[in-house]
Structure 1
Amino acid sequence: MSDSNITDFTNPSTFILLGIPGLEAAHVWISIPFCTMYIIAILGNFTILFIVKMEPSLHKPMYYFLCMLAVTDLVVYTSTVPKILAIFCFNSREINFSACLTQMYFIHCFSVMESGILVAMALDRYVAICHPLRHSTTLTNPLVAKIGLAVVLRGCIVVFPYPLLARQWPYCRTIVIPQPYCTNIAVVNLACADTRVSNYYGLFVQLCVIGVDGIFIAVSYVQILRAIFSLPTKDARVKTFETCGSHLFVLLAFYIPGLIISLMNRFAQNVPLHFHVLIANLYLLLPPVLNPIIYGVRTKQIRDRLLWLFTHKGA
């Protein structure tokens, strides 16, 4: 083989995204729930942003963090779902190498940001329940802005090595990615080189970023539960716990699918590939759908404002 051919093969201009391997014949039907999720996520998160902006009573730290979460979800959906639908509906499987790395960066960057925002929400609930008299003086608007900036910078900086490392590897095995979007592990697995640096760094991000966030959230809720159970009456305990309900549901929607994927990768090697891919898709795409629904249903101010908008327009 000539040098020029080797160069062309080891530096692909495009990758091929398979969608959901083994279910190619059903891609058109699978696109229907994906398209529905896309519409719900876009409308739901834009509605959250609009209501928080228009309702002065929601200009509080928890809802500022909720707006950050909505923006994060919108970016994740915008960077992935249009291409997924193009694969399912039009069999448009090719993706430019640079576009693949860009998509990979956005997916991981905003996943880390979402984890950081959930930590910020846990901090808000901790201060509100454990130190209620100091909540307004502790979580001021400037501090909320600094926390938001720190979350964004952490996500951008921590994930930045992913595409840099992926770009330097030679790809001489295959250019086929057995899923509908580009992730770090999927791209690195195609390389025909020693990619331990990428693998170790990915593990570092999982353990030292997502893992530490999970520990911080767990510690916060231990303190929150101690404060709740120390309240004198059952009604006070229930009412206080309900203020954490929306955040807890969002936490479960974010972390449980990730835990399922981790357990499947280690202990369920015999599970069909298409099932792995479907679970991975749910991990990425389900939280942006559920987050606005959870907060819309469980938050009285958002629910009342939304009902007022509909009744006002109807009048």
Structure 2
Amino acid sequence: MSAVTEGRPRSPWAAPPRPAWEGEPSKAGLAGKGLVLGIACLAVLFPLWIVIVTSLSSKKTITEAGGLVLIPKGITFIAYQELLSGGQVTRATIISILVTLVGTLFSMTVSVLCAYGLSRTSSLGHRWFLMTLLATMFFGAGLIPTYLLVQTLGLTDTYLALILPSAVSVFNILVLRGFFMGISPELIDSARIDGAGDWRILWKIVLPLSRAVVAVITLFYAVGYWSAWFNASIYLSDQDMMPLQNVMIQLVQKQEAPMGMGQAIKTGQLSELAVQMAVMVLALLPVAFLSPFVQKHFKKGMLTGAVKG
């Protein structure tokens, strides 16, 4: 019967054969995928483990290990206690947190308003504004004109210099716009018939339906502000105003101890390597803490916003 069936021409109404990659994986295939994923996880977690263990090790343990510590021999929080005791690192951490919060709020406000306006194709100057934004993705003024503009506006040696020059991302606006355009026009039209204006439609309808993409873009902006160091390095000259990332660069690359900790390192109470690793952990913690809460929104927020519109 099978030979007769195989000899017959396939019916045009029959479902097409499934590609090989959509078939049920074999046990060997599952084992191979698990092995590859396991190796990838180890490649990510192994350096992180070394950084955390070294930051929690005493100077004696680090000296015996000859540098980075792989196997912990006692745990001490002296590096973190010294870093957060009110010195330069504490101040830099507070500055980074405030800049991240204020900058993310400002960037999200501007991006959401701009994306909503561009998602209404009947709005005034819609096409002209959209083409202008797209042009900025391919053509930039350059570093020197940007610095001269910031200097002319009197923003040097101010915290606004850490926010305004990189406040808006055109890519993020386009993702938001694509998601907003995917919302049913009938829903918005019915709200207009009921007397709702644009502000109420945005606040009561569009944003609640766009929680996924808003959460993802918020994370993008927050990580960008938290990890930024370049603006501070060229626009700030006061060391007391430096955010955490710049203090970490001074500590790791330039081998400069944070203010208030040089004496502790010289007297042998602290290992300079433990301090470096502890600063890295402090810089990594916020991103590592927030990412799992936003991870579930990535697929819905990014893919839908990129495909629609």
Q: Does TM-score exceed 0.5, indicating one fold?
A: no
Please tell me whether Structure 1 or Structure 2 has the larger radius of gyration of its CA atoms: 2
Normalized per residue, the structure richer in helix is 1
> How does the TM-score come out when normalised to structure 2?
0.28
